[in-house]
Structure 1
Amino acid sequence: MTSLSKQVPYASVGHPAYSQTFPCEPSTAEIGRKLVRSVLDMWCLDGLADRAALIATELIANAARHTPCHEIRLIVTQPSATRVRVGVVDQEPSRLPALSRADDNEESGRGLLLIDALSDRWGCDLHGSGMSPWAKEVWAELHLEGTR
């Protein structure tokens, strides 16, 4: 029987990712939550599921409320060994997200504040080349426990 005297380094061939296109409507949030939970369960990252599912809900709700798009793409990736990213792509790159403070008696307007509080960082990337992007992705990242 052979034994190794030193550890063999793990060779990664890429990082996991999952995406799916959905109708851009509020009811998609429920499907999005389930998808995020399933993906994180498959990746053995259940500890992030509650926060990631809530982030997906808010990202989907914002796209449904603030864009005239007919469909969105929900993306769940692990861009590194220490981070999970949840993003929503819509085809309305001119409507960029902005943090705002909602009045106490307003029923909406707190989605990005919630995403900001739940995530380790969030942002928006434009997709396309040059001066005419065709879409934007609003995303939020969570660090895996113990990796900050």
Structure 2
Amino acid sequence: MPQPTTRTRPTGHPGYSETLPREPESAATARKLVRVACAVWGLDDVAEEGALVMTELVANAVQHARRDTIRVGIDRTEAGRVRVGVVDFSKTRPVRKTPGPEDEGGRGLALVDELAETWGTDPLPWGKRVWAELEGKR
């Protein structure tokens, strides 16, 4: 299994990323990476929300991406702010839906919208990055 990559960011804090198989089980690895990053940065207050948001982003990529792998990343963009994201090889942007009470799916982005300060999609030449930022207590 590939090891997570750590890289220094302009904020002076390391970022964490890992390439994972495009399968539902990868959400567990992505959650662990979020929790580790938040612990290193002393942002335990956003670790669980970040892990949950990452789970939803991975689930969307697993369902809609076109290749066998996805790339997850966690960055500390400011002192108390964490950005989690997933890069995949689909250019189709995610759309927040309003599911009916009987629908089994379609609530993931609503949950991301509720937990994150902000979220969005960055187009890439070969796919996209879907990200969400969470604000911790300082």
Scaled by the length of structure 2, what TM-score is found? 0.88
Distance in 2 between the 1:104 and 1:138 partners? Answer: 26
Work out the CA distance in 1 between the residues paired with 2:42 and 2:137: 12
User: In the comparison of the two structures, how many residue pairs are matched?
Assistant: 129
**Alignment deviations for residues 43-71 of structure 1 (CA, whole Å, 9 cap, x no partner):** 11111111000001000000001122210
Q: Percent identity?
A: 46
Task: Give the letter aligned to residue 104 of structure 2.
Answer: E
Question: 4+ runs of 1 displaced by more than 2 Å?
Answer: 12-16
* 1:38, distance to aligned residue in structure 2 (A): 1.1
Q: Is 1:134 matched with 2:126?
A: yes
| Match of residue 104 from structure 2 | 107
Q: Which residue pairs with 1:54 in the alignment?
A: 52
What is the alpha-carbon distance in structure 2 between the residues aligned to residue 26 and residue 76 of structure 1? Answer: 19
Q: How far apart, CA to CA, are the structure 2 residues paired with 1:63 and 1:80?
A: 26
Amino acid at match of 1:42: V
Q: Which has the higher strand share?
A: 2
By how many angstroms is 1:114 displaced? 0.4
* Secondary structure class of the residue paired with 1:73: strand
What pairs with 1:24-103 in structure 2 (closer than 5 Å)? 24-93=22-91, 95-103=92-100
How many Å apart are 1:14 and its aligned residue? 2.6
Q: In the aligned structure 1, how far is the partner of 2:80 from the partner of 2:51? A: 18
- 1:17 is paired with a residue of what secondary structure? strand
Shift of 1:96: 0.5
- CA distance 1:138–1:13, change in 2 (3 Å): closer
1:13 and 1:70 map into 2 onto residues whose CA distance is: 32
1:14-45 Cα deviation digits (max 9, x unpaired)? 33211110001111111111111111111111
Deviation at 1:134, TM superposition (A): 1.1
Give the distance between the partners of 1:82 and 1:50, measured in 2 at CA: 15
Provide the secondary structure at the position in 1 that maps to 2:137: coil
2:115 corresponds, among 106, 115, 118, to 118
Offset of residue 144 of structure 1? 1.9
- SS where residue 134 of structure 2 aligns? strand
Determine the C-alpha separation between the residues in 1 that align with 2:40 and 2:90: 31
Counterpart among 21, 29, 45 of residue 19 in structure 2: 21
Q: Quick check: which has more Rg, 1 or 2? A: 1
RMSD after superposition: 1.4
Which residue matches 2:137? Answer: 145
- CA distance 1:105–1:56, change in 2 (3 Å): same
